[in-house]
Structure formats: C-alpha cells, structure tokens
Amino acid sequence: MQILEIKNLLEGNLPETHIEVEGVGCNFQLNVISDELALLSPVKRQQQIYAHLNQWITDGRIHAVTMKFFSRAAWAKRT
C-alpha cells in the first residue's frame, strides 16, 4: 500500500478535504484537514474515513490507521 494511493482515495471521495499521510508497510498515520469533518463527532469522523479504507483493511493492505482531525484554521495554526 502506498501513501499516495491512500491520499488520492480519500481526497477523491471527501471533497474539500486535505489528507497528510505518513507510514511504512501497512501502518499509517493520517492528518485529516477538513472543516466539514471537524464539525462531526469523533466517531462520525472516523466512520467517514473507514468507509473508504475498509476494503484495504479487510484484504490486509492496511493493518493499522491512526487519525487526527483538524479544521483548516487549526491546521494553519499548527504548521
């Protein structure tokens, strides 16, 4: 599984969302920057991401995913 594949999949399916992906092998860390997702509960945010990654988790291409969510303003202050 490639970092770029994950980034393209998520950004292609989640409009107005920017994804920063790090990781090696089948373990990945996601920074998800989205004003829309920032308004949702933590469980709903994760459900939005897992809905797109579940096939790759099921077939073993992704073993572990950690996620942090940011609004665009919060991300800008962070970096």
Q: Which domain holds residue 46?
A: 3-78
Report yes or no on whether pTM surpasses 0.85.
yes
Structurally, the chain folds into a number of domains equal to 1
pLDDT at 33: 97
For residue 1, name the pLDDT band (cuts at 50, 70, 90).
low
Identify whether the C-beta of residue 62 lies closer than 8 Å to the C-beta of residue 56: yes
Provide the pLDDT confidence category of residue 5 given band limits of 50, 70 and 90. very high
State pLDDT tens for residues 28-64: 999 999 999 999 999 999 999 999 999 999 998 999 9
Q: How far apart are CA 61 and CA 68, in angstroms?
A: 21
What pLDDT shows up at residue 24? Answer: 86
